[in-house]
Amino acid sequence: MPELHVRPPQRPLCKFDASWKEDDARFGGGLVIEKEDGSTIFGSFASNRVLSPLHAEFSTLLWAMKSSLLLGHDSMAFKSDCQQLVRLIEEEEEWPSLMAEFDEFLDLSSKFVFCSISYVSRLQNIRTDCLVKVRSFEAFVFPMYTLRSQLG
């Protein structure tokens, strides 16, 4: 019988998500950072409205990158359920309305020893999705909390 090799999850990892509605004056973003030691950091924010859902996702990624660096992480695997954003970054597509965000992304990513972005399904991003939809519009800034896993 062939031996199966299961690749352990890449840690630390940061799942992020944005919530944007056409008729709202603000959009929200959230993150869930899963650290190597099993602890989890949750955070969310709300900000003034941006042009589109893609702008909201990109702004949330930039906020997640800044937050990761501020928390002392120089390596991070970012995970998003927005395929369009992941494709835009991986293929370096040119979107004139996102040039400033892309430039900031390049600057921030250069500050990491390791930095990646990949797609995860919405089902794999449920905690972040719930966090941003429930918390982000209550205040402009929601503090980050660290929780230690109770698992063995």
Structural domains of the chain, with CATH: 18-147 (3.30.420.10)
Residue 136 to residue 133: CA distance in whole angstroms? 6
pLDDT, residue 129, reads 59
Contact between residue 17 and residue 132 where contact means Cβ atoms under 8 Å apart: yes
pLDDT, residue 53, reads 92
Question: Which parts of the chain register pLDDT below 50?
Answer: 1-8, 135-137, 139-143, 145-152
Contact between residue 18 and residue 132 where contact means Cβ atoms under 8 Å apart: yes
- Residue written as token pair 């603000």: 26
Contact between residue 11 and residue 36 where contact means Cβ atoms under 8 Å apart: yes
Residue 31 to residue 8: CA distance in whole angstroms? 21
pLDDT, residue 148, reads 46
Work out the end-to-end distance of the chain between its first and last CA atoms, rounded to an integer number of angstroms: 30
Give SS3 for 150.
Answer: coil
pLDDT, residue 7, reads 47
- Give the CA distances from residue 4 to residues 1, 7, 138, in Å, rounded to whole numbers and listed in that order: 9, 10, 47
Q: How far is CA 53 from the centre of its chain?
A: 14
Residue type, 102: F
pLDDT, residue 131, reads 57
pLDDT, residue 149, reads 45
